[in-house]
Chain A
Amino acid sequence: MTMKNTMENEPKKSAKEKILSAIANGQVTMRPRWHFVLRATLLALGVVLCALAVLYLGSFIAFTLRQTGVLFAPGFGLHGWFIFFRSLPWLLIGVAVLFLVVLEILVRRYAFAYREPLVYVTLGIVAIVIGGSVFIVPLQRAMFRATRHDDRSFSGQFYRAFGTPRFPDIRRGTVVSRTGNTFVMEDLGGTQMTVVIASDTRIAPFDANFGPGDVVVVFGNQDGNIVRADGIRIDRW
């Protein structure tokens, strides 16, 4: 808008005269309605896509924490908390937070959002994401089962990278056999290991019984094929 430059050599006009003259000369024209419809549509699309991205990532993070057993680590004391924070998928969390920030920025362009304190809007978005994620986690599990053997697809590689065992002190697997204070379990990759239950091993839920066919998450150090369990969590998922 260069109205000021073109007007410099003309006799001084009032602001109203300048503006109306610019309109009459065609120097400024109204943007067509479709421009604003397109902008509103793109904004809405951006909000939907960001929301879906956050929902997907949130549910995937919840799924991967459960699938790898990291979710249960805090139940085993301070060391468990350390394992938990060390094992979180920080890259995924960072990307999810980025999408969340973009979503917040886009949503605040709507009057219903900027009229409320930022913390309400953020909590609202987070509540929707957490609630939505809970419903989507079973879908993530189905996706994992369907694609993890597919070496060619990106989704297969993606789900395998985050859903299969990858931490040295957390293992999730199915009990194959149990004898007294030891049992054999097999993880998703088909690797079998012998788990030793010591006197100080914490089992959750407390006093729960488990046997062949049950899925367990074992915390403890591994030496060869033997794991000395610091904690065992029975997963009825």
Chain B
Amino acid sequence: MEAAYSTDMAHDEAAISDEEIVKKIQRGDVERFGVLVERYEARLQRYAKKFLLDSDEAEDVVQETFIKAYVNIRSFDAARKFSSWIYRIAHNECINAIKKKQGKITLSLPDFDVLLPHVVADETTMRDAERKQTREALDRSLEKMDVKYREPLVLYYFEELGYQEIADVLNIPVATVGVRLRRGREALAKIIEHDV
């Protein structure tokens, strides 16, 4: 199935939302899945590379993500955001890859910051320059960051997801996203200070 799209078809598809495309795939138009792969491959590659810090592993994870997304596409509710859904699958695959690497089964207990309520932080509208600066600092210091804070920072600064979307990807309360981003920025500042 080599998806050879005509120019007209390509234009049409560019205008269609992810959710609409998924509806078509669910109805049997499986070729459209290629459009979703085109749209998300680079993004998921970037996300997985920055999360796992390993390019080869990231490639495998992204392939598995798309496979699982296709296999389970009929479970997707088109009333929700497709991007959150596929990033959620990618997140799970990354976690599985990390656990496989560590070679042990760990009992994951709820994090303390998920247990208790927090004041919901406003999503700060960062200036572009500030965001770019943070992204560059993050790029240099990713491997030194705790996975717990690395992931929300990657999702926010590189994938440009909002708090609600990050909450859906990580299955945590929205307020906890704000807490982890704040703590992640603090940890990043300490790393930078230490390096200087």
Contact = CB atoms under 8 A, between A and B. Distances in A.
Interface string B31-54: 001100110010001000000000
Contacts of A16: 34, 37-38, 41
Contact of A117 (B3, B38, B73, B117): B117
A36 B74 contact: yes
B110 interface: yes
A166 interface: no
Contacts, number: 86
A31 B1 contact: no
B114 A117 contact: yes
B173 A114 contact: yes
A208 interface: no
A24 to B, nearest CB: 4
A15 B30 CA distance: 17
A97 interface: no
Given A16-B38, A118-B114, A3 B63 contact: yes
A19 B37 CA distance: 9
Contacts of A17: 2
Chain B binding surface, main DSSP class = helix
A3 B118 contact: no
B108 to A, nearest CB: 11
Interface residues of B, number: 38
B167 interface: yes
A22 interface: yes
Contact of B70 (A28, A39, A111, A120): A28
Contact of B75 (A15, A28, A31): A31
A29 B71 contact: yes
B116 A117 contact: yes
Given A16-B38, A30-B73, A115-B167, A22 B117 contact: no
A31 B59 CA distance: 24
Interface string B51-95: 000000001101110111011111100000000000000000000
Q: Name, among A22, A23, A29, A119, the residue most crowded by chain B CB atoms within 10 Å (CB to CB).
A: A23
A116 interface: yes
Looking at B1, B3, B176, which has the most chain A CB atoms within 10 Å of its CB? B1
Contacts of A114: 171-173
B115 A118 contact: yes
A19 B66 contact: yes
B71 A30 contact: yes
B168 interface: yes
18 contacts: A1-B64, A1-B67, A1-B68, A4-B60, A15-B37, A17-B2, A19-B63, A20-B37, A21-B1, A22-B67, A24-B1, A30-B30, A30-B72, A30-B73, A30-B74, A117-B118, A117-B176, A119-B115
3 residue pairs, one from A and one from B, having the closest CB atoms: A24-B1, A36-B75, A117-B117
Interface of A: 1, 3-4, 15-24, 28-33, 35-36, 39, 108, 111, 114-120
Given A20-B33, A23-B30, A117-B115, 20 more contacts: A1-B67, A1-B68, A15-B59, A15-B66, A16-B34, A17-B2, A19-B37, A19-B67, A20-B1, A20-B37, A23-B33, A28-B67, A28-B70, A28-B71, A30-B71, A30-B73, A31-B71, A115-B174, A117-B176, A119-B115
